[in-house]
Amino acid sequence: MKNVLITGGAGFIGANFVHYLHKVEPQTRLINLDALTYAGSTENLKSMADSSRHIFLKGDICDIKQVSQIMREYSIDTIIHFAAESHVDRSIIGPAPFIQTNVVGTFTLLEAAKQAWGQERSGKLFHHVSTDEVYGSLSPEEPAFQETTAYDPRSPYSASKASSDHLVRAYFHTYDLPVTITNCSNNYGPYQFPEKLIPLIILNALQGKPLPVYGDGKQIRDWLYVEDHCEAIHLVLHKGKLGETYNVGGGNQPYNIDLVNKICSLLDELKPATDKYSLLITHVTDRLGHDRRYAMDTKKIGTELGWQPKHDLDSGLKKTVEWYLANMDWAAKISKDRDFQAWIDKNYFKRGEN
């Protein structure tokens, strides 16, 4: 990898990967393309400001002219595609941006890669970052998702990501475009936009605000520390087999309510308040079509590529809470949008109101 195009590199996972790749690939030039929509911010890239190997470009992955120009101008040999609308709740309220970015944007990138690389594809790679949500929902007794599990998306978000996965595979089979895919479970860690569950709970707790938990809180997710995810992607880039998909998960499956209580206990220890933070937990109306359980079978990436997560949930959560406590200025800048709190109120506390 000499010239890597990272899409969505100012968002949560993308920015973490930019930091990670910049550290482990000292000869690689990183071209970072991000539209800087609500969840992406150059605040996530401040430490990269003095690097000559990181070039930030504001732009839209749906703009074929811009993407094609970037491919030519920077001699891109590797695309790592993070850019996506990714919040299920927002997809329920307004699905159109999810179709545009996740489906049309992925198609645009695939077309640009096909045109730019032509038949000279040795050393080229299009890596697509996807989600476990494309597989649907599991009951408590069902086995974890495997790479061969049939797709069964339940929300506009997961349906748009399933569509993008299918497009990537189609370009591999039809046009011999060199591709790999990873489907990851729920990520957490530094730089995550505050509307997502873990940072929302941390930041609301510190401000003494209610900690919203959907329904009975018995939804189950597989939580993956973002740095472990970055390491998995890096391994796939170097050792993954073309055309293959690799599931990436953290091996943790707590109930959401238990996760929230873990965060409260950590805050009680690290930033004690007058009362226990768990007293702020507030059960709210459940999300429409809310999947009950996700779980990832990661045997394939473990057996074939030797990857396994380095963080369990306790160690990853502690590092995450400590990071947010040390970066409250970042959190304030990221959530300063005047519509942010209104959206949180509408989504969690005024669900169903016009």
Helix axes 313-326, 197-206, angle to 10 degrees: 50
Residue of 77, 89, 157, 291 marked active site: 157
Q: Euclidean distance between the first and final Cα of the chain, in Å?
A: 50
Sign of torsion over alpha carbons 238, 241, 242, 243: negative
Cα separation, 205 vs 250, in Å, equals 25
Does 294 qualify as catalytic in the annotation? no
Residue of 34, 89, 133, 231 marked active site: 133
Does 133 qualify as catalytic in the annotation? yes
Cα separation, 134 vs 125, in Å, equals 23
What are the residues facing 130 on neighbouring strands?
183
Q: Where are any strands of DSSP class E within the chain?
A: 3-7, 29-34, 54-58, 78-81, 125-131, 179-184, 186-188, 211-214, 223-225, 245-248, 281-284
Residue 296 DSSP one-character state: B
29: its two tokens: 């030039």
Category of 182 on φ-ψ map: left (φ > 0), alpha (ψ -120 to 50) or beta: beta
33-63 core/surface letters (b: 16 or more CB in 10 A; e: else): bbbeebbbbeebbeebeeeeebbbeebbbbb
Residue of 34, 77, 89, 132 marked active site: 132
Q: Distance of CA 231 to CAs 143, 228, 248, 267, 323, Å?
A: 25, 5, 10, 28, 19
- C-alpha angle with apex 44: 40 to 46, nearest 5 degrees? 135
Does 275 qualify as catalytic in the annotation? no
The enclosing H or E element of 14 equals helix 12-24
Task: Collapse the DSSP code of 224 into the 3-class scheme (helix H, G, I; strand E, B; otherwise coil) and give the result.
Answer: strand
Active site residues: 132-133, 157
